[in-house]
Amino acid sequence: MNRLIKHGLMFGNLFHVHSPALVERYNRALEHLTGKRTDLSDFHIDISGYSPEVGDELNDHLYLNHQGVNRQFILLSMEQRTAPLLNMKFSTSRAILQDFIAENEAQLFALTARDAVAGELVNSVYDVTTPARLFDIRRVEIEADTTAGTVKDAEKLGAMVDRFKTEPDGWFDDVLIADMITLAGKTGDVVRNPVRLKQMGFDQRNFWTAHFGGLYVFQDLEHPAVIAPSGKGHLGKLPLEFVFDASEPNRIAQFLTLNGLAEPIFEGRETHAAAILRQKMDFVLIDAVTSAGGDLSGTTRADMRSLARRFHADLPQEFHALGALVNWIENGSKWPLITSDHPAYFYTLRASDTKDAALVNMLLAELAPKDARQMFICHKELFYATYAQWPEAKKAYVVDFLVAEYQVDKAGARDTLFGHDAPMAEPARKRDVPKRDKGDRDMIARVGPWGAVRRNR
């Protein structure tokens, strides 16, 4: 993993805690939440305040996420908002924290100038000992305050001010006035500068969880289902009728289609699609070459064709099917029949423009595991676990690619791969490229380039 860390692909963009004041604030918050402290004087934290170094010191990397539910957090600085969320157990957690920070930006800026803000993502579940318990998680509420209780004291002072203004004898209540003065010394002027965090709640109906081998729970859909790529035999009885695993690609494809969750990656953007598919082919090729013990030293993009010729016998079905699809896009050749049980099927899809697009792209990354770029972007937890099993040659190639072609323009890469722009006009064709005939176009309009989704009988 050192190669990933060195290039900022792992533990990148964490907030550096190194001043004595910040370390002391962190310790106050840590003790407030967990009863523990750190002796470190220099460490890094993610958006939730979790630190890998502190986790190592405490021999507990779930010290802010006991049982993997109700994640606690420590905010020392507004700079944490752009940090990643490490050891993610639920796909919704980072977005919830980002929304909370954005909605309370001014208040949190003022509060963290003097103290740490400590809190928790609260739901009604305190453990997930069985998969069925996941379905009791319906809504997540955020509770937060400084370690000194500034927000709570400000609410109390605000109520006192109201009493002072409205009660007939408020002006003569010496005890009330004395209590107001004492609290004002802690909170400041809450009339001119109110200290209040918005009470926020978030529905958690569709999500991924790392529990039980990794599950994608889709409850808030017309056709709900659970997808367990690693297997479903251990899950027992669940509240949802339909549960699919990776051995049922037809049923997963049908689920995506019925709910309008996925679309062909070349939908309305053929020029981008050919380049994306070629890159997917490169990753499939690299996987085959390194698995066969091939040497990638000094390999460039221009060397890919040579590698494909040398290792032709080792190339899997995904490579040939994606190549046929590129030929169809660029040269108007006969469109390839890539059915939903074909190994290349999920490589041809991206999420549709829905509220669950990020979750669907995460699922597609797991169903198309040889596309290292999409896995890194959409499912870092899986990427890190998979990366550890790769041959050294593949590790080096993927890291070099991500540094050279993704890190330099993350936003542009994401937009090209997953953006949902208005449909683009069909690009002008070269004169020597045959157009698809009307029969092809009509068929594509009905079933897409891969053929109809097969339904299990």
Q: Which residue is it, tokens 């330099």?
A: 408
- Regarding whether 269 and 391 lie in a shared domain, the answer is yes
Question: Can you tell me the distance from the alpha carbon of 92 to that of 209, in angstroms, rounded to the nearest whole number?
Answer: 9
Please provide the DSSP assignment of 313-357 as one string.
GG--HHHHHHHHHHHHHHH--PPP---TTSTTGGGGEEE-SSTTH
Question: Can you tell me the distance from the alpha carbon of 308 to that of 288, in angstroms, rounded to the nearest whole number?
Answer: 9
Amino acid at 51: S
Coil, helix or strand at residue 249: helix
CB 417 within 8 A of CB 409: no
- Regarding whether 38 and 101 lie in a shared domain, the answer is yes
Crossing angle for the helix pair 105-112 and 93-103, nearest 10 degrees? 90
Q: Is position 453 within any domain?
A: no
Number of domains in the chain: 3
Q: Is position 94 within any domain?
A: yes
Q: Is position 105 within any domain?
A: yes
Q: Is position 143 within any domain?
A: yes
Of 370, 378, 440, 387, give the one whose Cα is nearest residue 413: 378
- Regarding whether 290 and 230 lie in a shared domain, the answer is no
Q: Is position 405 within any domain?
A: yes
Of 56, 188, 197, 23, give the one whose Cα is nearest residue 120: 197
- Regarding whether 425 and 399 lie in a shared domain, the answer is yes
- Regarding whether 213 and 196 lie in a shared domain, the answer is no
Question: What is residue 248's predicted lDDT score, i.e. its pLDDT?
Answer: 96
- Regarding whether 240 and 326 lie in a shared domain, the answer is no
Of 364, 362, 356, give the one whose Cα is nearest residue 264: 364
Residues whose CB falls within 8 Å of the CB of residue 78, separated by 6 or more in sequence, listed in order = 101, 105, 108, 109, 112
Q: Is position 457 within any domain?
A: no
* Per-position pLDDT tens, the chain of length 457: 889 988 888 988 899 999 999 999 999 999 999 999 999 999 999 999 999 999 999 999 999 999 888 899 999 999 999 999 999 999 999 999 999 999 999 888 888 888 899 999 988 777 888 999 999 888 899 988 888 777 766 666 556 666 656 777 666 666 655 665 666 666 554 444 456 788 788 888 999 999 999 999 999 999 999 999 999 999 999 999 999 999 999 999 999 999 999 999 877 555 688 889 999 999 999 999 998 888 777 777 677 888 888 888 889 999 999 999 998 888 878 888 899 999 999 999 999 999 999 999 999 999 999 999 999 999 999 999 999 999 999 999 999 989 988 887 888 888 878 876 433 333 333 333 334 444 444 444 344 444 444 444 3
- Regarding whether 443 and 314 lie in a shared domain, the answer is yes
Q: Is position 454 within any domain?
A: no
Question: What is residue 334's predicted lDDT score, i.e. its pLDDT?
Answer: 84
Question: What is residue 449's predicted lDDT score, i.e. its pLDDT?
Answer: 41
Question: What is residue 456's predicted lDDT score, i.e. its pLDDT?
Answer: 44
- Regarding whether 129 and 179 lie in a shared domain, the answer is yes
Q: Is position 452 within any domain?
A: no
Q: Which residue is it, tokens 């003097």?
A: 114
How far is residue 106 from each of residues 21, 29, 183, 196, 278, measured CA to CA in Å? 21, 20, 21, 10, 46
String of b and e for 399-418 (b: at least 16 CB within 10 Å)?
bebbeeebeeeeeebeeebb
Question: What is residue 273's predicted lDDT score, i.e. its pLDDT?
Answer: 87
Question: Can you tell me the distance from the alpha carbon of 308 to that of 290, in angstroms, rounded to the nearest whole number?
Answer: 12
- Regarding whether 385 and 241 lie in a shared domain, the answer is no
Burial (CB count <10 Å: 0-12, 13-18, 19+), residue 156: middle
Residue 217 belongs to domain spanning: 205-245
- Regarding whether 353 and 229 lie in a shared domain, the answer is no
Which of 193, 216, 245 corresponds to the end of one domain? 245
Question: Can you tell me the distance from the alpha carbon of 313 to that of 174, in angstroms, rounded to the nearest whole number?
Answer: 91
Question: What is residue 191's predicted lDDT score, i.e. its pLDDT?
Answer: 44
Residues whose CB falls within 8 Å of the CB of residue 56, separated by 6 or more in sequence, listed in order = none
- Regarding whether 229 and 108 lie in a shared domain, the answer is no
| Alpha helix segments (H runs only) across 77-217 | 93-103, 105-112, 150-166, 174-187
Question: Can you tell me the distance from the alpha carbon of 387 to that of 384, in angstroms, rounded to the nearest whole number?
Answer: 5
- Regarding whether 216 and 322 lie in a shared domain, the answer is no
CB 326 within 8 A of CB 242: no
